[in-house]
Amino acid sequence: AQTVTQSQPEMSVQEAETVTLSCTYDTSESNYYLFWYKQPPSRQMILVIRQEAYKQQNATENRFSVNFQKAAKSFSLKISDSQLGDTAMYFCVFMNSNSGYALNFGKGTSLLVTP
Amino acid sequence: DTGVSQDPRHKITKRGQNVTFRCDPISEHNRLYWYRQTLGQGPEFLTYFQNEAQLEKSRLLSDRFSAERPKGSFSTLEIQRTEQGDSAMYLCASLGVGETQYFGPGTRLLVL
C-alpha cells in the first residue's frame, strides 16, 4: 500500500514571501500521479498542481511549482509571492491506476499567510 | 460546467438513525468517488463507481455503509444505524481529464 507523509503539520509565511511544503511517499509502482490539493477554511477541496511520474520536468502553475524527485520519492510544493488567499490546508496526494485512480492523501499541512 | 454538487451540506442526526447523502458529479464524468474526512485528517477513500458499476467497495468502513449509482449519474451514500464515530465530512469527487478529481463541497454529518 502506498503511504504519503507530510512532516510539517503547520507552517506560516509572510505575504509576498516564498514557502516550501514537503511531502514524501512510498510506492513500488513506476507509473503514478502526484497532486497537491488545497482546502481553504470551510471551503471545498481544489486542485493546485499535478505531476505525472513519467515526466521528468517539474510542473508549474503560476506561483505554484513542485520539486519532484522520483528516486527519492519526494514531491515538495513551492509557493512564491504568497498571498492571504493561500491560507489553507494543503494535501499531498498519490494516485495510480492499480487503485482505480482513488486518491491517497497525506495528513496535510496547515499554511497560514500573515500580512 | 456546474461542478460537483452534494446534498445536504449539513446533517445532524441522532445515534441509530439512517442517513443518506446525494452527489451529482460533473455531467460528462463517468467515474465517481466517495471519501470520508475526519477533523484534522486527510480524506480517506471509501468507494468508487464507473458509470453504474461499483468497482471497489472493500474500503467502506463497515456493512452499515452502502453506496449506489443506479443510472450512472448521481450517487447516494447511506449510513445505517449511525454511530457517534460516523461524524465526519463526506466528500464526493468525479474524475475528469488528466486523471484529475474534482470535489464537491461535502456533507458534514454530526451524530448526537
Count of CB pairs separated by less than 8 Å, A with B: 57
Does B103 sit within 8 Å of A102, measured CB to CB? Answer: no
Beta carbons of A15 and A114 less than 8 angstroms apart: yes
Q: Residues of B with CB below 8 A from A37's CB?
A: 103
CA distance B83 to chain A (A): 24
- The 10 Å Cβ neighbour count of residue B101 is 26
A81 secondary structure, DSSP code: S
Contacts of B33 in chain A (CB under 8 A): 102-103
Task: Give contacts of B50 with chain A, Cβ < 8 Å.
Answer: 100
Closest CA to A64 of A92, A44, A43: A92
Instruction: Record the cell numbers describing residue A101, joined without a space.
Output: 485512480
CA dihedral sign, ordered A14, A16, A17, A18: positive
- Is B105's CB within 8 Å of A44's CB? yes
pLDDT digits (tens, 9 = 90+) for B10-46: 999 999 999 999 999 999 899 999 999 998 899 999 9
Measure B42 CA to nearest chain A CA, in Å: 5
Q: Is A44 exposed, middle or buried (0-12, 13-18, 19+ CB in 10 A)?
A: middle
d(CA B32, CA A4): 22
Residue A29, pLDDT > 80, answer yes
Distance from CA of A99 to the nearest CA of B (A): 9
Instruction: Report whether pLDDT(A1) > 90.
Output: no
Q: pLDDT (tens digit, 9 = 90+) per residue, A37-77?
A: 999 987 889 999 999 999 989 999 999 999 999 999 999 99
B98-111: per-residue pLDDT in tens? Answer: 889 999 999 999 99
Percent of chain B whose predicted confidence (pLDDT) is above 90:
81
Rounded to an integer, what distance in angstroms lies between the CA atom of residue A70 and that of residue A29? 11
Residue B42 and residue A45: Cβ atoms within 8 Å? no
Give the Cα separation of B14 and B110 in Å (integer).
8
Residues of B with CB under 8 A from a CB of A: 31, 33, 35, 40-45, 48, 50, 55-56, 59, 91, 93, 95, 98-106
Classify residue B10 by burial, with Cβ atoms within 10 Å: 0-12, 13-18, 19+.
exposed
- Do A109 and A9 meet the contact criterion of CB atoms below 8 Å apart? yes
